[in-house]
Amino acid sequence: MSSRSVKTGQVLVKSLMAALALGTLGMGATAEAACTPAGTIQDNTGYSPDVDFTYTGAWTHSSSFPNALYGTLSWTKDVPNHWYGMDKAVSFSLECRTAFDYFYSAAYNRGHATIVAVNNVTGEWRQLGSVDQYSPTIEYGKSVRISVPWTQRTTIYISANGTKHPASIDTYIDIDAIVPR
Ligand SMILES: [Ca+2]
Tens of pLDDT, residue by residue over 9-66, are 444 344 434 444 443 433 444 444 589 999 999 998 877 778 999 999 999 999 999 9
HSE of 78, CA atoms in CB hemisphere, 13 A: 17
Model-level pTM greater than 0.85? no
Calculate how far, in angstroms, residue 166's C-alpha sits from the geometric centre of ligand 1. 27
- Express each pLDDT in 108-162 by its tens digit: 999 999 999 999 999 999 999 999 999 999 999 999 999 999 999 999 999 999 9
- The pLDDT, as a whole number, for residue 45 is 82
Cβ atoms of 128 and 84 within 8 Å: the answer is no
What angle (nearest 5°) sits at the alpha carbon of residue 177, between those of residues 175 and 106?
45
Calculate how far, in angstroms, residue 16's C-alpha sits from the geometric centre of ligand 1. 37
- The pLDDT, as a whole number, for residue 162 is 95
- Express each pLDDT in 57-88 by its tens digit: 999 999 999 999 999 999 999 999 886 668 89
CATH fold for domain 36-180: Jelly Rolls (2.60.120)
Calculate how far, in angstroms, residue 52's C-alpha sits from the geometric centre of ligand 1. 13
Calculate how far, in angstroms, residue 130's C-alpha sits from the geometric centre of ligand 1. 20
Spatial separation of the C-alpha atoms in residues 125 and 116, rounded to whole Å: 7
Widest distance between CA atoms in the chain: 78
Spatial separation of the C-alpha atoms in residues 111 and 34, rounded to whole Å: 34
Mean pLDDT of the chain: 85
> What torsion do the CA atoms of 135, 140, 142, 148 make, to the nearest 10 degrees?
110
